[in-house]
Amino acid sequence: MKAILKKMSYLLPLLILIGFYACKPAKQSYSSPKGYDFNHPEKFIMPESLHEISGIAFYKGKSDTVYSIQDEEGRLYRQAWGNKKQQHAVFGKKGDYEDLAILNETVIILRSDGTLFTFPFTEAIQKKVRNVKEWNDMLPDGEYESIYADQQTNQVYLLCKNCKGDKKSQTMSGSIFTYNPVKKELIASGNFSMDLGELVSSGQILKTGLKASALTKDPHSGDWYILSSVNKLLVVAGPDWKVKSVHRLNSATFDQPEGIAFDNQMNLYISNEGDELSSGNILKFKRKP
């Protein structure tokens, strides 16, 4: 009996160790879209004024200057890459501004209620923008956080984060406008939708939907890159809006992803709002050959 007990005293710690690792949850795996490594970003920490950075854009893809907004102040910010000192142009009163696009020589800013603000890019360097045009009632009622402007076609794409009917049909709807730079007009040019049924049934997103927080397009492939801060995902869809790949984002790297853009060298940038423990930032992912 003593011999058996002695053997058990040796085996017991081993059994406990085996049980611990057997019960330990599997390590979460994270993937990256083709051509990028989401594990090794270059990080640009934002100043306090951009703690709640909510959208980023480049002028004609030039990454030497980052243009951004935050979701409380009606200000268009600009700063050199890597330089925390920022300057800004006031374009509106306080509000929930979520995303922006620079369409050739026009700045377009999206408020969460679907209201759009346009003004000449030449005024982006002024302290106060004087020629702002406000576009109301252009979009279906809902919540909006994503805008993309195509430099070649002058078309503007807007994704709905939360619109009536999308949850029931398991889709994500969007609207297209064409901007006339001569008349400075936005012209309704159609609608589109993205089928989310497979993502919901596979458990990759919540039943409430993708909840898009930012949108951009790969200028070479035409693929759409859609961020979801709520689901902590990056979804890549083809030009036809059919899902091609889904990439879960590591919350240790992506605190609250709210903005996304490509530069003219095909480097990918994702901005994150800060929280109580960390500052807002922009992550740069260099394009791999």
DSSP code, position 254: -
% of the chain beyond a pLDDT of 90: 85
pLDDT at residue 8 is higher than 70? no
Give pLDDT tens digits for 158-178.
999 999 989 889 999 999 999
Residue 44 CA to residue 93 CA, distance in Å, equals: 27
Whole-angstrom CA distances from 217 to 48, 202, 236, 247, 279 are 29, 25, 9, 16, 27
Give pLDDT tens digits for 109-141.
999 999 999 999 999 999 999 999 999 999 999
pTM for this model (two decimals) = 0.89
1 or 212: which leads in pLDDT: 212
pLDDT at residue 263 is higher than 70? yes
pLDDT number for residue 289: 83
User: CATH assignment of 37-285?
Assistant: 2.120.10.30
pLDDT number for residue 13: 52
Residue 108 CA to residue 205 CA, distance in Å, equals: 29
pLDDT at residue 3 is higher than 80? no
- In the numeric block, the tokens 């994704």 are attached to 159
% of the chain beyond a pLDDT of 70: 90
**Are 204 and 249 a contacting pair, CB within 8 Å?**
no
pLDDT number for residue 208: 84
Burial of 14 (0-12, 13-18, 19+ CB in 10 A): exposed
pLDDT number for residue 207: 83
What is the pLDDT of the chain when averaged over all its residues?
91
- In the numeric block, the tokens 């330089």 are attached to 83
In our burial notation (b when 16+ CB lie closer than 10 A, e otherwise), range 254-280 reads: bbbbbbbbbbeeebbbbbbbbeeeebb
Give pLDDT tens digits for 183-196.
999 999 999 999 99
